[in-house]
């Protein structure tokens, strides 16, 4: 395999969490008295850090109302944990194939908070899959490349041996800003045309297809 470091987005790339994110964000908006958010509006911001997502969805919202929305969203999302989310088909087997190569390092770069990522790591037992991770609340939100820069520094792997894998233009633009190769997965939240505009080296329609391409 050419790449030594594979960096995965989480929501919409590894975990099928779109429906929960949309429902919880819509509920939070209602809680703070904001006009209804359409599913398309919420899907558009998946991948961004929560403050950046709220600013994009709710232009002109006052700071105190935005903070209340953030807290309500987190509450709704945590309360929904009693119904476990699932990985996309093929993720667990595919990650194991990657982990079987001792030369390969795996990482996560996500718009989730550290608390949220650690919670899902614990619930699914997936934290041990990854050698490193970065969340939006401990660095800069996508599409700024800071979290990728930090992952490269932590692992000691150069950008020419690293690959970003994600389902949104925020993932791919973050990688393109560094000249890092990137793969689009088309089963997530952003349309194929939007992803192709970010010039990925490959577009995978399923997770097993991604794994097969990596091992080709």
Catalytic residues: 9, 11
Question: Is 152 exposed, middle or buried (CB count within 10 Å of its CB: 0-12, 13-18, 19+)?
Answer: buried
Q: Is 84 left (phi over 0), alpha (psi -120 to 50) or beta?
A: beta
Structure tokens at 12: 């919409």
SS3 content of the chain, % helix, strand, coil (to 5): 50, 15, 35
The Cα 119–Cα 127 span in angstroms is: 10
Is the Cβ–Cβ distance between 3 and 161 less than 8 Å?
Answer: yes
What SS3 state is found at 3? Answer: coil
Q: Is 194 left (phi over 0), alpha (psi -120 to 50) or beta?
A: alpha
Q: Which value, to the nearest 10 degrees, does the dihedral of the CA atoms of residues 163, 167, 171, 175 take?
A: 30
Is the Cβ–Cβ distance between 210 and 94 less than 8 Å?
Answer: yes
Structure tokens at 210: 């991604």
């Amino acid at each position: 395999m050419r790449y030594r470091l594979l960096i995965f987005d989480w929501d919409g790339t590894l975990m099928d969490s779109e429906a929960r994110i949309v429902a919880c964000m819509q509920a939070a908006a209602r809680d703070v008295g904001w006009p209804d958010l359409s599913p398309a509006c919420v899907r558009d911001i998946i991948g961004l850090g929560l403050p950046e997502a709220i600013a994009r969805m709710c232009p002109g919202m006052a700071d105190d109302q935005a903070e209340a929305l953030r807290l309500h969203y987190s509450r709704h999302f945590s309360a929904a944990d009693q119904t476990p989310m699932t990985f996309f088909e093929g993720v667990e087997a595919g990650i194991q194939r990657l982990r079987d190569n001792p030369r390969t390092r795996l990482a996560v770069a996500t718009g989730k908070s550290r608390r949220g990522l650690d919670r899902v790591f614990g619930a699914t037992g997936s934290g041990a899959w990854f050698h490193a991770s970065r969340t939006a609340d401990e660095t800069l939100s996508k599409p700024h490349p800071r979290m990728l820069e930090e992952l490269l520094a932590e692992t000691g792997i150069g950008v020419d041996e690293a690959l970003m894998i994600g389902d949104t233009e925020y993932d791919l633009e973050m990688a393109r800003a560094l000249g890092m190769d990137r793969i689009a997965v088309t089963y997530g939240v952003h349309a194929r045309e939007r992803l192709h505009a970010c010039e990925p080296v490959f577009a995978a329609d399923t997770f097993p297809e991604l794994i097969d391409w990596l091992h080709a």
